A and B are shown apart, each in its own frame.
Chain A
Amino acid sequence: MMDALGAILLIPAISAALLALLPGYKLTAKLNVLAALATFLTSLSLFVIEPTSGQYLLLDDLNKVFIVLTTFVSFTTSVFSASYIHHEIETGRLTPAFLRFYHAMYQMLMFAMNLALIANNIGLMWVAVEVATLTTVLMVGIYRTHEALEAAWKYFILGSVGIALALFGTILVYMAARPVVGEGMDGMVWTVLVKHAAQFDPALLNVAFVFLLLGYGTKVGLAPLHAWLPDAHAEGPTPISAVLSGLLLNVALYALLRFKMMLAVNSAAITPAPLMVTMGLISVVFAALMLYRRRDIKRMFAYSSIEHMGIIVFAFGMGGPLANFAGLLHMTMHSLTKSAIFFAVGHIAQVKGTQKIAEIGGLTATSPALGWGLMLGVIAIVGLPPLGIFMSEFLVVSSTFARAPWLTVILVLGIIIALGGLFLRIGPVMFGEPRGKTAPAEASYVPMFTHLGLVLMAGIYLPPVLVTGFQNVAKLLG
């Protein structure tokens, strides 16, 4: 079974083993980029030759979008990571021994995320999410400072609890399926489950979904369950912050969407909409308010991620072709923009030697490329035209306005509060008195400006191929 789906898993798995063995961080950084590029190209081939889905692996329009996005951002992040770690080695924050471990874990994370996305078995999907969590825990703690260890510990404990709840939900789904599809493997195969979900016991499915929402929702970073997220983003290496925000949150969301699709088939079960809409709105408003008192620049953008995941979950919760389309678009735009922002922030923190907002100032004067890059990213992330996020947020708002005007008011309020908070904090960083060190930046600008360019393009002109593709997926999501 060596088709493209297998290759997407094998390339990262083999590279992980290889990178763990090879010495010399310059070589391994290049190999890391190469492996990520190979995975990305393989994922593109899925559009040309469609591999058949089996009992373990699955490919449909929905996960195709997620896979391509994931492999693309992993590739660009690996390019950024190469120049980032070069600086970390020079300043002595990381040693070559740690880097060997770092690169192996990076590929391991790619493997786990890809597996979670193409798994057709809900047990397998759960295992993949667990592996992804454990690898990121190790990466977050890699600097071994007080803060990094606390962040990793918190992430580990909350993440494991979330994942335990998700497993309980998975078991309940199997229990619900057993009387209908029979014992054994079939009871965990997603395609089989969806086909028969109409006959499942609705009460059991409801309870299962609550556990799944709490479990995977912890990993998405939804508001009452988000406590791990800001710490993990702020204290880990910046490439990992980019991957966490841009990809891992999406993977958890993807798991949730799969179960939502299953519930939608059963008419007697609860509709997940009110739960998802409520949690989404709470996340948006809560995170927006939290933006005002942030002192750490990475932590601030972590709260912004919570806000955007809230918007995305809200959109998928509302459902319907238009809202789903908007949610998908917003997810894509957020992944690209937020990782671009973290690329900029990573280099800025290296130039200035600090992540404290108060000690960074006048960036547009001292390092113009980084400063304006970040500024463009912030303009995109708060949702100003003409960038892509403006369009997706506009779609989310307009599609809900017809159906639930009051919810729109809360959502828009949250978005505006977040806009104010981000601009208030980022203004002095950009245009204020130059503060902090002004060493010339040895940055790789290509990944950052590629992402921002794509976001700008999407805001002005969406290619029809993309539109029809997203529309198909939106229909699939119901």
Chain B
Amino acid sequence: MSSLQFDIAHLLAGSLVLASFMMLYQDRLYALLNVYALHAGVLALSVAWQAYVQQAPHLYVTALIALVFKAIIIPVALHRIIRRLGIHREIENVIGVGLTMMAGIGLVALSMVVMLRVTPGADALAREDLAFALSVVLLGLLIMVTRRNAVSQVVGFMSLENGLVLAATGAKGMPLVVEISVAFSVLIAFIVIGIFLFRIRERFDSVDVQALDRFRGERR
């Protein structure tokens, strides 16, 4: 692999982490969805580049799924749901943006330390990809933890899945079964979530998860 190919792959995977960081400080739902679309777009590019470098044509399918389904259909659908249901468009954070960003930086550092240390044998690109993928996964978790709003938790979960796809494509020659299944599971997950959002709306007039928290724990 030439060093240019490596650099481009590195750049794209790094951009994905950057896009995850951008999600961390969004305080409007629409803006968050737009950043998510960007996130999925970068993922599609990154996967397509991997397909080219590894000469694995089946990865183009994964890239296409990421582009069409995750970068276009889901954000558009969520935009419509938000408008139709009249969901509050501000995102309530559990902790401040500054602290969240610091935690994010810490998580990225952690995943670098862990993944680079345990994979000295693997080729350089796979190592970097895994480290970036773990960062994206952990940042996705962070988004889910720090948001109170159901839609933004869902977005956090989807960005987490993007990290998994990055890891799966970075692992050279991993069977297609997994990629399809990941795409498939996102689809199902989305349907489930869609149903939930509707039901939650039906009952609470709000998609704010805190409205649910009233019922936490024991019946009284």
Contact = CB atoms under 8 A, between A and B. Distances in A.
Interface of A: 121, 123-124, 126-127, 130-131, 134, 137-138, 141, 144, 146-147, 149-150, 152-153, 156-157, 160-161, 164-165, 167-168, 170-172, 174-175, 178-179, 182-185, 187-188, 201, 203-204, 206-207, 294-296, 299, 355-356
B177 A164 contact: no
Given A146-B203, A149-B196, A171-B167, 18 more contacts: A138-B192, A144-B203, A146-B214, A150-B215, A164-B160, A170-B178, A171-B178, A172-B130, A175-B130, A178-B172, A179-B121, A187-B174, A188-B177, A188-B178, A201-B118, A295-B219, A296-B218, A299-B218
For the complex of A and B, 5 pairs with smallest distance between CB atoms: A183-B173, A203-B118, A150-B212, A127-B181, A123-B178
A179 B212 CA distance: 48
Contacts of A296: 218-219
Contacts, number: 131
A95 to B, nearest CB: 15
Contacts of B181: 123, 126-127, 130
Given A178-B171, A187-B173, A147 B219 contact: yes
Contacts of A172: 130
Contacts of B199: 141, 144, 149
Interface of B: 114-115, 117-119, 121-122, 126, 130, 133-134, 137, 141, 144, 150, 153, 157, 160-161, 164, 167-168, 171-175, 177-178, 181-182, 184-185, 188-189, 192-193, 195-196, 199-200, 203-204, 209, 212-216, 218-220
Given A203-B117, A204-B119, A175 B126 contact: yes
Contact of B189 (A160, A171, A203): A160
Given A127-B185, A157-B144, A134 B215 contact: no
A291 B200 CA distance: 30
Contacts of B168: 171
Contacts of B167: 168, 171
Nearest to A124: B177
16 contacts: A127-B185, A134-B185, A134-B189, A144-B199, A144-B203, A146-B212, A150-B213, A156-B193, A160-B189, A171-B171, A171-B174, A171-B178, A183-B173, A203-B117, A204-B118, A207-B114
B212 A178 contact: no
A305 to B, nearest CB: 17
Given A121-B177, A160-B189, A178-B171, A146 B215 contact: yes
A161 B144 contact: yes
B130 A156 contact: no
Nearest to B185: A130
B219 A356 contact: yes
Contacts of A156: 192-193, 196
Contacts of A164: 137, 157, 160-161, 164
B121 A201 contact: yes
A160 B212 contact: no
Contacts of B184: 127
B192 A178 contact: no
B1 to A, nearest CB: 15
B17 to A, nearest CB: 15
A184 B173 contact: yes
